Amino acid sequence: MRRILFTLITAWVLAFSLAPAHGAEPTRGGTLQSLLWPEPPGIMSGQFLQSPALLVSTKMFESLLMYDFELNPKPHLAESWQVSHDGKTYTFKLRRDVKWHDGKPFTADDVVFTFGEYLIEVHPRMKVVFQKVRVAKVDDFTVEFRLEEPFGPLIRSFGIGTEIVPAHLYKGTDFRKNPNNAKPVGTGPFKFKEWKRGEYLHLVKNGDYWRKGLPYLDEIYYRLVPDAASRAIAIESQQLHLATQNDLELLDVNRLSKLPYVSVTTKGWEWGSPIVWIEMNHRRAPFGDKRFRQAVMYALDRKFVRDTIFQTYAKVATGPVHSSSPFYEPNVPTYDFNPAKAEALLDEMGLKRGA
């Protein structure tokens, strides 16, 4: 299957800031009113991978590492790590001051269970990464990931979807039917409070959070608003403070961005950077002819797609790896928008206009 990739980075964030001006002391306390749409089927980490579910679950659950805006790994639940000289053993030292929301201590048992059992069963993509990795407990706060052969991308495999789950609540259970799925227990800055279907999801501050002084907010309400126009009005009227990804129509984003109390940013979405592409099965005519595929590439007005369809909230892609990735290669051949070349290639194939 040949992928023709023509636009990139469609994720964006629209935010009405509750904080003081840049440089001032952050405000502590208060309630964030955020949009959330569509309503996710569930919010248990690893089991529900839709963007709205992840937006909520990542406030409650955490992984071993975090990543900066350049996607470099940083300590989180793991305070440090080492890689063996042969590249086949990764040793993680865990924090000792982390507790689950129910007060139980976070230990190596939770990490071994999450990567050795839980994610292998519930998360198809992580199964591909970790099913041949042996995860072993060295002591209560040390874990080893032992590989059959070196795998360089492993250290960048602890992002969204690999949050640690509590072994004491899930081990030996049917993961998808576990009653804790409805009231998740994590280690993160916010705790689950209530989910009123069709209306809101309510998270409250974790007073025992291991990152002292955080979070600043007391609570978050994720408001479920089905109508797109109503969502835009809610931001414009300041009834709601935050919208992410597809909560708002892009035409509304451009209009709202001109308001003095609204800011728009794509910062922080480097990890996902979803790519929109055309797939052509070259096993079937006329897609098997390189000239036809080239004609399609020349016929695509990528700048029009970026500026009109995505309202400039996108970049033109040059291949299947997004430009935020450390594996991105910018020096590849590209196809400019050239309808005349496209038509000439089709004529050469005998696919003349009107034939």
pLDDT of residue 24: 57
End-to-end CA distance of the chain: 27
The reply to whether 104 falls in a domain is yes
CA distance 220 to 35: 10
Residues recorded for the chain: 355
The reply to whether 17 falls in a domain is no
The two tokens of residue 174 are: 């049917």
From residue 155, how far is each of 72, 89, 111 by CA, in Å? Answer: 9, 11, 15
What's the number of CA atoms in the CB half-sphere (13 Å) around residue 93? 5
- Domain with 102, as residue range(s), is 62-177
pLDDT of residue 14: 37
The reply to whether 96 falls in a domain is yes
Number of structural domains the chain divides into: 1
Q: Which of 322, 307, 313, 316 is nearest to 336 (CA)?
A: 316
Q: Residues of 268-287 as b/e, b for ≥16 C-beta within 10 angstroms?
A: ebbebbebeeeebeeeeebb
The two tokens of residue 257 are: 């961005």
The reply to whether 136 falls in a domain is yes
* Each residue's pLDDT expressed in tens, for the chain with a length of 355 residues: 333 333 333 333 334 333 334 445 778 999 999 999 999 999 999 999 998 999 999 999 999 999 988 889 999 999 999 999 999 999 999 999 999 999 999 999 999 999 999 999 999 889 889 988 999 999 999 999 999 999 988 999 998 889 999 999 999 999 999 999 999 999 999 999 999 999 999 999 999 999 999 999 999 999 999 999 999 999 999 999 999 878 999 889 889 989 998 888 888 777 767 788 888 898 999 999 999 999 999 999 999 999 998 888 888 888 888 888 888 898 988 899 999 999 999 999 999 887 6
The reply to whether 323 falls in a domain is no
Domain holding 161: CATH number? 3.90.76.10
- Taking the model in full, what pTM does it have? 0.85
CA distance 24 to 293: 55
